Amino acid sequence: MPLVELVNVTKRFGKITALNRINLSVEDGEYLCILGPTGAGKTTLLRLIAGLLEPDEGEIYIDGRKVNKVPPEERNAVYMFQNYALFPHMNVWGNVSFGPIIKEWDQKRINDVTSEVLEMVRLGERKNAYPHELSGGMQQRVALARGIASGARILLLDEPFGALDARLRVNLRTQLKSLVKDQRLTAIHVTHDQEEALMVSDRIAILRGGRIEQVGSPQEIYTNPKSIFTISFVGGANFFEGVVSRVNKFGSEIELRGGLRIHVSDRSRNVGERVVVAVRREHISLGKSRRRGFNNLLGEIEDVMFVGGSMEYMIKLENDMTLFSRTLLKGSSTPLRRGEIVIISFHPGECRVFEYPRRGLLKEIEAI
């Protein structure tokens, strides 16, 4: 039985429908990420589970019990704000022991639990410090300790790394996940950072405009995205607009603008159908020779960028289309230069074909 379950949950604010018939279940001990752009309804979803909001329609179950009308304090789900909301008038000890004290445990148990949890997050020595005296990373740990000490089984994390430096986030991701797993907690983590979601979660739910776009394991989401939006939001890709010109037993042929043809393994489309082909940047290799069994196109390198340990190339194709290729920087490799003419190869099996979106391709992938 899932620990948290949402059935047809809808939430409106005035005329705006923030969440539209959401169905989602989270297993006990699972780490689930809710990933989506600003305004997708991520925070609303989290607040509904916490009981800080009440759904307009649908049911929320925790541990099999319908909790629509159950107040937050009886849900065993602790909500962690982006800036951690440590009580400013209490020190670290006061913050962490808040839950135990409010639940009126006996004094010994309060002390034991508090010091144990503080040790766990390596903050035993700072127990008398006040929140404003701690660094961002420490504050995050205090907030986690406070949640764990309160006996909560579910952690609701709203952008837990949002207040931290980019480089620090990378280090703390692993820490957060191990803490959750070691304590056998269930975590629901809201973020707009796809890399973060891919790295920490057992499962990801992609949220867009109040609806769930896709749910799956990080690998599944990455390798088998169900929509143009998902592939564009998670990892990004090159998009080719075209028309299916032929389908045979090996795959299909798509005709692009300017008469270029590419082969894809997907055979599910009909001849004449207008489609969008997506190819991930890291699946596009650049070289001097054509590769057998691959799509091979000719292009010129327009720009070279260095992105987080990878080289990213902007390439102009013969038909004036621009595409991007990304390769992990290896110590010995020498990067290609601007102006070089290269052969661009990608495997038909790496091409994903989507129906041409009604709103137009740009609207579908637009980030701004």
The site string for other proteins over 35-64 (x = CB under 8 A, - otherwise) reads --xx--------x--xxxxx----------
3-state secondary structure of 127: coil
CB of 315 to other proteins, least distance (A): 15
The sign of the torsion formed by the CA atoms of 249, 346, 277, 322 equals negative
| Options 41, 131, 160, 218; binder of other proteins; rule CB under 8 A | 218
Give the footprint of other proteins on residues 291-330 (CB under 8 A): 305-309, 312, 326-330
CB of 332 to other proteins, least distance (A): 6
Give the footprint of other proteins on residues 157-186 (CB under 8 A): 165-168, 170-171, 174
Query: Which range touches other proteins (CB under 8 A), out of 107-115, 118-126, 146-154, 266-274?
Result: 146-154
* Residue bearing tokens 């703390």: 172
Q: Which is nearer to other proteins, 80 or 275 (CB)?
A: 80
Query: Which range touches other proteins (CB under 8 A), out of 2-10, 72-80, 242-250, 267-275?
Result: 72-80
Q: Compute how many residues bind other proteins; rule: CB under 8 A.
A: 81
Give the footprint of other proteins on residues 254-273 (CB under 8 A): none
Q: Which is nearer to other proteins, 103 or 272 (CB)?
A: 103
CB of 67 to other proteins, least distance (A): 9
Position 147 contacts other proteins (CB under 8 A): yes
3-state secondary structure of 196: helix
CA distance 346 to 165: 36
Torsional class of 103: left (φ above 0), alpha (ψ -120 to 50), beta (otherwise)? alpha
Q: Which is nearer to other proteins, 275 or 279 (CB)?
A: 279
What is the edge-to-edge ordering of all strands in the sheet holding 322-328? Answer: 285-287, 341-346, 295-307, 310-317, 322-328
Give the footprint of other proteins on residues 329-358 (CB under 8 A): 329-332, 335, 347, 349-350
Burial (CB count <10 Å: 0-12, 13-18, 19+), residue 259 = exposed
Give the footprint of other proteins on residues 78-137 (CB under 8 A): 78-81, 85, 87-89, 98-99, 102-103, 135-137
CA distance 191 to 42: 8
* Residue bearing tokens 């923030």: 18
Per-residue DSSP letter, 72:
G
Phi, psi of 339 (to 5 degrees): 90, -15
Q: Which is nearer to other proteins, 171 or 245 (CB)?
A: 171
| Options 29, 58, 72, 209; binder of other proteins; rule CB under 8 A | 72
CB 55 within 8 A of CB 105: no
- Beta strand 285-287 pairing with 322-328: unpaired
